[in-house]
Structure 1
Amino acid sequence: MSSHSLLKWGIRFYITLFFLYLFTPLIIMSAATFNDSRFPTISPWRGTTLKWFEELWNDSGMWQALGNSAIIAAGVLLVAVPIGVACALFLSTYRGNGKNFLYGLMLSPLLTPGVIIGISTLIFWRSLGVSGGIFLTVIAQTTFIAAYVMLMILARLQRFDRTLENAAFSLGASHFQVFRRILLPYLMPAILSAAVIAFLQSFENYNTTLFVKGHDTTLTIYIASKVRTGLTPAVNALGLILILITILFAAVYELKRRHEARQAQVDPETASEPLSR
């Protein structure tokens, strides 16, 4: 067997191990949802049941925590995305001497432990009379999630052709018109991706949220408390539902992307038909 074949089989073996490592815990967690056992496990198998979905449906505390997490994630999305886009646009056009310093300053929340962000946010806002809760959680999470958004928008801006802006300005377009008709449509895929990342980062956050949540429990905090008081497969049922929802959205996005790719291939052919006659 040649070295090229060995390398190819080695890569395939590594990829197989990687996907097994990635998906095996999810498969085991999903299977434990249907096991008639008080503890989330697949061994020993005590029979197939759907009662954990019923227990999940009747768990008002978990649904309230899920609602709080969704509200916080939506709030973080609405705040972090505009801030991240604004920071990226500023850094992409700023030519001053302090650009590297500003870039490092905007990235510093990513290098700061979430515990420190949570504690410092709580201390600062408490001195202003604001107690912990949903509002403070949104503020604390936005501190570092906006930096993720900024990085994604900056990566998109690095491939932007600035001559399009210059041509628009030469034709008399205002800055707002250039942004709305040229820059914003170009950035929209990155903005949508950043919005999804911001929502998921907020939804799964634990360290920062633990210190600023106040009396409003989020899903991650609620599940962590369940680990101490007694975890049941109802949590697995919730995880399975979230996985299925994620797969559904990913499938819809992929179908939409393929449809747009086919449309992009058809449109040039359609446009060239009158010229060929």
Structure 2
Amino acid sequence: MNPGPFQRVMFTLYTAVFFLYLLGPLAVMAVSAFNTPQYPQVWPIEGVTLDWFAALFADRDMMTGLRMSLWIGLLVVCIAVPIGLAGAIIMTQIQPRVRSLYYLVVVSPVLTPGIIIGISTVVFWRQFTGQTGTRFLYDGVVLTVLGQASFISAYCMLIILARLQRFDRSQEEAALDLGASYPQVFRHILLPFLKPALASAAVLAFLSSFENYNTTTFAILSDKTLTTVLAGRVRQGSTPAISALAVVIVVTTVIGAIAYEIYKRRADAAAAARQRAALEAEEAEMSGTPAAAMG
């Protein structure tokens, strides 16, 4: 049934309100980042300037927090993605009777409040490092990486598991029958198949770590990340330099998303071309077989 005029108007209105709600704050911050007043202002536009971007990069605390957030994000990726991969593989290997219990256990960190994860991480590692004499591990960066990875790895596992459920196990069996070892099957068959999911999990892990606040604010101790620095600045009063930071992050994210989409489409096109070439070669071989037999 075709929608009537009223339904079309309501759908258009809903779409406009949705995108206004979604993109409105970004537009406000983008305009205020180029406006000259000392406080975030959209209208009136008193002048256009790039001074707030210069002030942003000259802010020592902000740049220190940004570098710390990038470093922590990379470490979280290095820990959370392998843990998520292992968790997804185990999920497909264990007996169906215990699979639901295992799923509940590995997903439970996602349901735990970040404040609880941050506090429990600090308390546990303070006692552990004190009893084992490894006080050098009681560091804000180490605790933050461990606290964030404890729940971000569950997100990674869910992404990888969704891809792994479409994997054809007969490929592994065929490789093992031909004499391949389990590490070779994992490296040459399973990992290439999971490559898109691993890339998606790595991106999600990094972004989740970069924007995390609840766990970070307790686990970071005396160090600072970008989120903790921004939280302190907002309490003191926002400035257009924060708007400039938002513009930089949004532009970087959009460029990264576009680059990833271009790479993905080229990879898909190359895979399709290889598949077509293989099919053409197979058809040519099949069509040439009778001729060879007749000759």
Would you say same fold, with TM above 0.5? yes
Q: How does 1:172-191 map onto structure 2 within 5 Å?
A: 172-191=179-198
1:266 CA displacement: 4.1
1:5 CA displacement: 6.5
For the pair shown, the structure with the greater C-alpha radius of gyration is 2
1:42 CA displacement: 0.8
Mapped contact 1:122–1:132 kept (Cα < 8 A) = no
The whole-number CA distance in structure 1 between the counterparts of 2:59 and 2:147 is 28
1:135 alignment partner in structure 2: 142
1:27 alignment partner in structure 2: 27
1:231 CA displacement: 1.9
Q: Normalised by the size of structure 1, how large is the TM-score?
A: 0.92
**Identity over the aligned pairs, expressed in percent?**
45
Structure 1 gaps, min length 5: none
Q: How does 1:132-211 map onto structure 2 within 5 Å?
A: 132-211=139-218
Matched, 1:240 2:247: yes
Distance change >3 Å, CA 134–CA 237, structure 1 → 2: same
Residue type of the alignment partner of 1:32: S
The whole-number CA distance in structure 2 between the counterparts of 1:150 and 1:269 is 33
Q: What is the aligned-residue RMSD (CA, Å)? A: 2.2
Distance change >3 Å, CA 188–CA 24, structure 1 → 2: same
The whole-number CA distance in structure 1 between the counterparts of 2:220 and 2:77 is 17
Distance change >3 Å, CA 96–CA 29, structure 1 → 2: same
The whole-number CA distance in structure 2 between the counterparts of 1:261 and 1:222 is 41
Mapped contact 1:81–1:195 kept (Cα < 8 A) = yes
1:58 CA displacement: 1.0
Superimposed CA distance per residue, residues 131-152 of structure 1 (whole angstroms, 9 cap, x where no aligned partner): 3410110000011000000111
- The number of residues matched between the two structures is 277
1:118 alignment partner in structure 2: 118
Residue type of the alignment partner of 2:218: F
The whole-number CA distance in structure 2 between the counterparts of 1:171 and 1:4 is 62
2:54 alignment partner in structure 1: 54
1:162 CA displacement: 1.2
Residue type of the alignment partner of 1:46: E
Structure 2 gaps, min length 5: 289-295
Distance change >3 Å, CA 124–CA 262, structure 1 → 2: closer
Superimposed CA distance per residue, residues 133-178 of structure 1 (whole angstroms, 9 cap, x where no aligned partner): 1011000001100000011111111111111112222222211111
The whole-number CA distance in structure 1 between the counterparts of 2:8 and 2:183 is 52
1:100 alignment partner in structure 2: 100
Superimposed CA distance per residue, residues 17-70 of structure 1 (whole angstroms, 9 cap, x where no aligned partner): 322221111111111101111211213433222111111121011000000101
1:18 alignment partner in structure 2: 18
The whole-number CA distance in structure 1 between the counterparts of 2:107 and 2:268 is 35
Matched, 1:37 2:37: yes
Between 96-105 and 150-159, report the one with greater CA deviation: 96-105
Residue 238 of structure 1 aligns to a residue whose secondary structure is helix
Between 27-36 and 162-171, report the one with greater CA deviation: 162-171
1:80 alignment partner in structure 2: 80
Between 247-256 and 180-189, report the one with greater CA deviation: 247-256
